[in-house]
Amino acid sequence: MNKEIKKIIPAYKDYLWGGTKLKEKYNKESNLEIVAESWEVSTHKDGSSMIDGITLKEYIENNKGILGTKVDGDNLPILIKLIDAKQDLSIQVHPGNEYARKYENDNGKTEMWYIVEAEEGSFLYAGVSKKMDKEELSESVNDGSITDKLNRVYVKKGDVLFIEPGTIHAIGKGIIIYEIQQQSNVTYRLYDFKRKDALGNERELHIDKSMDVSNLNPQEWSLKADEILIDDENQKVSKIRSCEYFNVYHYQVKDEVIMKNTSETIVFITMLDGEGKIVGENTLDVKKGDTILIPAYDGEVKFVGNGEYIYSTL
């Protein structure tokens, strides 16, 4: 197994609601005019990240054990994105594993959002604001009042939302998000504001399937990280959120910090700000917008520099 730290090259998506901030502010290099999503870590068939000129999937298969002992085989169970919402995304919902595997031949989609940037007044739609039945939901889609039935969550940099399958949701305009999710690309659109694509066509909706999987009971939302683990002169480390699919931490560091590496899990680091070096079996320069793969092995890895980053494991 190659233990070298590697920079990952993302796959890019130019969905109609996206903007240009990922290119302008996060050093993303793409010929696309719009970069709505940057799939930083992906082995999914709909968009694969690259390392050293080969797909991330091929790289993992060529380096047995790189994912760590938590994973049985070579199937990376997560997908990580940066998302630039210049406009509101569609009102949508994701199924759980059982439904997705039965009808879509894909995984369900549990996901977590970390707010990287948010313009003043920005908000997300997350869940219904009051209990409703499927008939009321259907009527609200038909008459365009569905956004009035949803819970608006106003957000700022550093806020966190954990979105379980079945939660009706949408990212609002003016927000950049770090998203970590199950490896899946199953999204059911309930409502898309009657927008049209470049060919003048409205995007497909998935009303019946959305009705099947939507949770129509209100939920409570916590926007805070789970806990602060370290807070000293060199680093502030917070555990953002943990679930059966991923564990996510936020680092704000200066000078030099040591991160304990283990054989249990691969690590992915996404730089949100600053620059420096990551030092392990090799040394890699990193800057804002980079995503780095650190293989699973027992040892220590250092970050040297000044920066803010998300540290994600399995």
Task: Residue 185: give its domain's CATH number.
Answer: 2.60.120.10
Residue 1 is assigned to a structural domain of this protein: no
Task: Assess whether 113 and 187 both reside in one domain.
Answer: yes
Domain boundary among 173, 190, 213: 213
> What's phi and psi for 79, nearest 5 deg?
-140, 135
- Last residue of one domain, picked from the residues 213, 244, 277: 213
pLDDT tens track for 116-160: 999 999 999 999 999 999 999 999 999 999 999 999 999 999 999
Catalytic residue check, 189: yes
Q: What's the pLDDT at 196?
A: 85
The residue among 166, 188, 213 that closes a domain is 213
- With a pLDDT cut of 70, the percent of the chain lying above it is 100
Tokens of 61: 């298969």
Using only C-alpha atoms, what is the Rg of the chain? 19
Answer for the pair 76, 34: CB distance below 8 angstroms, yes or no: no
Q: What is the arithmetic mean of pLDDT over 74-80?
A: 97
pLDDT over threshold 90, residue 198: no
| H/E segment holding residue 277 | strand 267-279
Residue 233: pLDDT band (50, 70, 90) is very high
Average pLDDT over residues 90-109: 97
Do residue 268 and residue 299 come from a single domain? yes
Domain membership of residue 220 (yes or no) is no
Residue with tokens 């979105």: 163
Residues 54 and 148 reside in one and the same domain: yes
Please tell me whether residues 103 and 247 are part of one structural domain. Answer: no
Determine the length of the chain: 314
pLDDT at site 183: 96
- Residue 199 vs residue 246, higher pLDDT: 246
Q: Residue 33: name the closest of 89, 92, 91, 84 by CA.
A: 84
Pull the structure tokens for residue 187. Answer: 């999204």
Mean pLDDT of 70-86: 96
Confidence band, pLDDT 50/70/90 cuts, at residue 200: confident
- Which amino acid would we find at residue 156? K
CA 274 – CA 286 distance, rounded (Å): 9
Q: What is the mean pLDDT of residues 262-290?
A: 98
Residue 222 resides in a domain: no
204, 243: one domain: no
- Give the percent of the chain with pLDDT over 90: 96
105 and 160, same structural domain?
Answer: yes
User: Among the options 101, 152, 189, 203, which is catalytic?
Assistant: 189
Dist CA 179 CA 132 (whole Å): 28
Q: Look over the chain and give the mean of its residue pLDDT values, rounded to a whole number.
A: 96
Query: Would you say residue 221 lies in a domain?
Result: no
Q: In the prediction, which pLDDT does 193 show? A: 92
153 and 207 co-located in one domain: yes
Q: What is the pLDDT of residue 58?
A: 98
**Domain residues for 288?**
227-313
Output the pTM of the full model: 0.96
Q: What is the mean pLDDT of residues 62-74?
A: 95
**pLDDT range class, residue 66, cuts 50, 70, 90:** very high
What is d(CA 214, CA 98) in angstroms, rounded to the nearest whole number?
14
Burial of 314 (0-12, 13-18, 19+ CB in 10 A): buried
86-98 pLDDT, tens digit each? 999 999 999 999 9
239-256, pLDDT tens digit by residue? 999 999 999 999 999 999
Q: Is residue 138 part of a domain?
A: yes
Work out how many domains the chain is built from and give that number. 2
Question: What's the mean pLDDT in 207-211?
Answer: 95
Two structure tokens written together for 244: 């059966």
Same domain, 126 and 36: yes
